[in-house]
Structure 1
Amino acid sequence: MTTPPPDGSRDRRIEDPSNLWIIHPAGRALLPRALTLGVSANSVSIAGLVLGGAAAFAYTQWDSPVFALVGLLFSIGWLIADGLDGMIARATHTASALGRALDGLCDHGVFALIYISLALSIGTAGGWALALTAGLAHAIQSSLYEGERARFHRRIKGVALAVPPAPTGMLLVRIYDSVAGSLDRVSMPFERRMARAADPVAFGRRYGESAAAPLRFMSLLTANMRVFAIFIACLAGNPRIFWWIEIVPMTIILVTGIALHRRIERQLAGGVSPSIRLSNEQGNT
């Protein structure tokens, strides 16, 4: 039976195992101490950026297994901080647009530092071209995936979208939100069907039972999976492996997950029982 997280912010059905069993438990263990000390969510975001920077520095020596392991450990520390800042913001009711933007910029900043450190260590024009291509693929994948996650968490509460929201804030935030929300317009027939439902909450539960499977499949696009992929590629002696993983397999995962999600929306909007499961029962054990 699936149990919700303590703060109700995430649905466990769509989380990857490393979040469920390592990253989030570590964050929850640190939360009481952080609250006692009065640590702010934004300061934890910045601390995460520092940890990510340390990981990037370690990865400049990726050809050494010891430094690759140190890079992985610092990266895990960053992932824990990345989860902890949100826990603090929710616990202290200090969530804000600025904090969200800072969190997002720190997340992308960490990967940018790691990509740059790896490209510098390779030192070839081909390495830089591959790093830049992978970075662009990463940005698009992350934005679209986060949009899908936000859509899922809103809908399972029975909340329909009236109109696609207009991006606001800083330019980079607007660009990120524009990509993340680009599928809202495609999904409006489903949103209107949910809004007309006699019991939107029940309709949302029905949606969640089917949509959890493709969302869980897309959890392969999380920062956690990228962190472990970087480590494995470095141990294999070729960071380029990671960049090719981002460009090809992760793009295929994104496109497949989005297509499956849209198919479920169309089926529910048309009154048809969704046929996509992807072994959904495994996520409820």
Structure 2
Amino acid sequence: MEQGRIVVAQPDPVRRTSEIEEPTNLYVIHPASAWLTRRFARLGVSPNAVSLAGMAAGLLAGVAYHAGFLHGCDPRAVLVGFMLMVVWHVMDGADGQLARLTGRYSQTGKILDGVCDYATFAAVYVGLALSLAPRHGGWVWALVAVAGFCHAVQSAAYERQRQDYNFWGWGRGASPLARNVVPSGRRAGDVLFGLYARIEALTTALGESGLNGRLAVMLAAHPDRAPDIRQRYRAAFALQVRRWSVLSANYRTLGLFLCALPGRPLAYFAFEIVGFSVILLGLLRRQRRCDARFLAALEGVAAEAPPARPAPARALSVNVR
């Protein structure tokens, strides 16, 4: 494998996969992102610049939430923080659409996009902790730290389901069986990517059912049946992936706002730790059941058609370096 290159099946469409999108993305965030994307493309703005602009909005959201709880609760500052997070969501959608539209992909861009996502919530969480800890005590920092860890695990689990669906259902993006990337030589980027990969590996271990390996074998053995297998996968998993969207950043942004507006931001952190973790475990359990049903259906597909005949020996010649 070429160094620093991520295995990709085929180019992604500009817009994300609509059948697994939740309503706020489908009808609000992504249309706004698409409107900006066309204008950014005409102006020659890079996807990384859009990511950084979104992160700036996210950091300012942290400042606004911090200001909102310096002296009691200021609903106006909370509203400003919420609106700045919405701006971040729109820019977060625009950077990916712009990368797909212009073909300007890079490992650095992928890492930067993930860093910007976590930086926004880190800024908001830290901003709130700085305001709340002097009044409530140092335990607030422990609460926020645990909430941040739970957030990272839950978000990685959600993104993993989306990536699996796009790869197995549509043949897009990186293979779940080839997610490890050879170091690019950029120390900071490799450290960040390694941390993200470890979090994703934890969620993979929690939900592993053997489906990915079996799908890879089936598609290799029956390439002529690939469109049918992928269609069956989409029919079986689209609804389940939409259920996972309750763990998306959109609902965290909304939940944080609804808790902070009446002056109860600590309730959000408690729900992040307990509520979202219970939801994650429930989704993992349901996912394993869905995987088991689909694995059983795959056996039926395997029985319907004989394996594809091997190609002639002369067609197997490749250049080896």
Compute the TM-score of the two structures, normalised by the length of structure 2.
0.77
The CA deviation at 1:191 is: 3.7
Percentage of pairs with the same residue? 33
Aligned residues: 268
Q: What do residues 15-46 of structure 1 show as CA deviations (whole Å, max 9, x unaligned)? A: 11110111100011112211111111000100
**Which amino acid counterpart does residue 270 of structure 1 have in structure 2?**
A
1:81 matched to which residue of 2? 91
- The alignment status of 1:145 with 2:151, answered yes or no, reads no
Contact 1:42 1:99 in 2 (8 A): yes
The CA deviation at 1:147 is: 1.2
**Which amino acid counterpart does residue 16 of structure 2 have in structure 1?**
R
Aligned ranges 1:100-179 → 2 under 5 Å: 100-123=110-133, 124-157=137-170, 163-169=177-183, 170-179=190-199
Contact 1:147 1:180 in 2 (8 A): yes
Q: What do residues 99-140 of structure 1 show as CA deviations (whole Å, max 9, x unaligned)? A: 000010011011111000000110121211110000000111
Q: What do residues 192-213 of structure 1 show as CA deviations (whole Å, max 9, x unaligned)? A: 3444445122111111112112
The CA deviation at 1:51 is: 0.3
- State how far apart, in whole Å, the 2-side matches of 1:257 and 1:195 are: 29
1:243 matched to which residue of 2? 269
**Which amino acid counterpart does residue 104 of structure 2 have in structure 1?**
T
Q: Secondary structure at the match of 1:10?
A: coil
Of the structure 1 ranges 175-184 and 262-271, higher mean CA displacement relative to structure 2 is found in 175-184
The 3 A distance-change label for structure 1 pair 272 and 92 is closer
RMSD: 2.3
Aligned ranges 1:202-281 → 2 under 5 Å: 202-271=228-297
- State how far apart, in whole Å, the 2-side matches of 1:174 and 1:152 are: 23
The CA deviation at 1:8 is: 5.4
Of the structure 1 ranges 9-18 and 192-201, higher mean CA displacement relative to structure 2 is found in 192-201
Compute the TM-score of the two structures, normalised by the length of structure 1.
0.87
The 3 A distance-change label for structure 1 pair 141 and 66 is same
Of the structure 1 ranges 232-241 and 264-273, higher mean CA displacement relative to structure 2 is found in 264-273
**Which amino acid counterpart does residue 140 of structure 1 have in structure 2?**
V
1:20 matched to which residue of 2? 26
Greater gyration radius: 2
- State how far apart, in whole Å, the 2-side matches of 1:158 and 1:100 are: 19
Contact 2:51 2:113 in 1 (8 A): yes
1:276 matched to which residue of 2? none
The 3 A distance-change label for structure 1 pair 8 and 45 is closer
Q: Secondary structure at the match of 1:236?
A: coil
**Which amino acid counterpart does residue 43 of structure 1 have in structure 2?**
A
Flag structure 2 segments of 5+ consecutive residues without an equivalent.
1-11, 184-189, 300-321
